[in-house]
Amino acid sequence: MRAGEGAMGSCIKAGEELPPLEVPITRTLIVAGAIASRDYQDVHHDAELARQKGSPDIFMNILTTNGLVGRYITDHFGPTAELRRVAIRLGAPNYPGDTMVLTGRVEEVDGDTATVRVVGANGIGRHVTGTVTVTVPAGAAVTVPAGAAVTVPTGTAVTAVPAGAADTLPTGVAGTTPTGVAGTTPTGAAGTTPTGATDSARGGAADSLPARAAVTASSEGPA
């Protein structure tokens, strides 16, 4: 993870390359994307009618491509990323059996907002080109691929979360235990309680937590 004050300004730099994403173009993906976006043109679901209109097969509609581009950006910048603008242009069609490879490059960074140029290429050429404007709120975490180099400003705290570990709460958010409910910690888990806070049992009932989960009880009561 990369986190810090002004996640964009501190950690994301103009010129940075996003890791590529391979998207297998299946007949199911094309048809499902068209239906999900309420695009019922026959060229997106009926191969015979598509051939009658001059296409060798059905092909992906622009709304599905738009969604895949958005997914590519949010997969990289994390669940707090907000897409502000997606501007794309289609080129070579996405036909069944092909693979589209999405690549991206950060063109500009302004505070917590970045503009990313995206290209999606398939076996016959560039399917999509365009730019995406994305905002990541200050202090939010940005996911980076395993093994990638990370540069973090001096004084910034970084927490490495191994696979299978419990989800962590954002800075300043307390996990609270409701009155009368006992928080139990399995073997190997860390349970921390601020000074003055207490956990009281409710008729022997307990909330079980995943192994290695961290429990923080707040004296302020339920959030």
Residue matched to tokens 């103009």 = 14
Can you point out the beta strands (E) in 93-177?
A: 99-110, 113-122, 125-135
Quick one: tokens of 110?
């302004």
**How far apart, in Å, do the first and last CA atoms of the chain sit?**
27
Closest CA to 62 of 81, 80, 39: 39
Domain ranges in the chain? 7-135, 161-223
* DSSP 8-state secondary structure symbol assigned to residue 193: -
Residue matched to tokens 């069609």 = 93
| CA dihedral for 45, 95, 89, 51, sign (positive or negative) | negative
Q: State if pTM tops 0.75.
A: no
* DSSP 8-state secondary structure symbol assigned to residue 180: T
How does pLDDT run across 125-157, given as a tens digit for each residue?
A: 999 999 999 999 876 555 555 565 544 444 444
Residue matched to tokens 């990289």 = 76
The superfamily in CATH containing domain 7-135 is Hotdog Thioesterase (3.10.129.10)
Residue type for position 35 = I
Quick one: tokens of 153?
């400003």
How does pLDDT run across 9-39, given as a tens digit for each residue?
A: 457 889 999 999 999 999 999 999 999 999 9
Rounded distance between C-alpha atoms, residue 102 and residue 120, angstroms: 4
Residue matched to tokens 């954002």 = 170
What pLDDT was estimated at residue 25? Answer: 98
- What is the C-alpha radius of gyration for the chain, rounded to an integer number of angstroms? 23
What pLDDT was estimated at residue 172? Answer: 52
